[in-house]
Every structure is written in structure tokens, then in C-alpha cells.
């Protein structure tokens, strides 16, 4: 990325490729987390089933929100890249 910033010709293909790949992988991660929640629900483990499942759901939901916030910021960077 530093080479891109110092570049006079302003080639943006390589940085956008890596930023887009990061965005895609983050979305895949959040989708996988959601699929995991669906599997737990199918096995009868809900938020209120027991304290362990409650902790797991809350912890992973907060992490997913954190990741989604970062992905929104990353999307903004991709959009604003000259």
C-alpha cells in the first residue's frame, strides 16, 4: 500500500483488489457465523437455553457487529480510493 501512496501514476488496481478481497473474506466470515447460529438453533440451543449458550450467542453477536463495523469502514475506504 505504501508503494501505491507514493506512486505518481496512481495505479489503483492492486490496492483495490486486496481491499476487495479483504471485504469479501470478512463477509464470508460473518455469513459463516450466521450459519453456525442456524446450526445451533437446529440442535435446540437458543439464547435462553442455558448460561453457556447465552454467553456464546452474545459474545459472537458482539464480534459480528464489530466485524460488520470494520467492513463498513473498509467499504468506505474502497469507495474513496482515488
The DSSP annotation for 17-48 comes to HHHHHHHHHHHHHHHHHHHHHHHHHHTT--TT
Q: Is the pTM of this model over 0.75?
A: yes
pLDDT at 71: 98
pLDDT at 78: 93
pLDDT over 90 for what percent of the chain? 74
Average pLDDT for residues 28-53, to the nearest whole number? 94
pLDDT at 18: 92
Q: By the 8 A CB rule, do 23 and 69 touch?
A: no
pLDDT at 5: 57
**Binning pLDDT at 50, 70 and 90, where does residue 1 land?**
low
CA distance 32 to 29: 5
Strand segments, DSSP code E, in the chain are: none
Q: By the 8 A CB rule, do 26 and 71 touch?
A: yes
Amino acid at each position: 500500500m505504501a508503494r501505491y501512496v507514493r506512486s505518481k501514476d496512481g495505479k489503483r488496481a492492486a490496492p483495490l483488489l486486496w481491499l476487495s478481497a479483504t471485504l469479501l473474506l470478512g463477509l464470508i466470515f460473518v455469513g459463516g457465523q450466521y450459519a453456525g447460529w442456524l446450526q445451533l438453533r437446529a440442535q435446540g440451543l437458543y439464547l435462553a437455553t442455558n448460561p453457556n449458550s447465552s454467553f456464546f450467542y452474545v459474545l459472537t453477536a458482539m464480534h459480528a457487529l464489530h466485524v460488520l463495523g470494520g467492513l463498513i469502514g473498509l467499504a468506505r475506504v474502497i469507495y474513496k480510493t482515488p
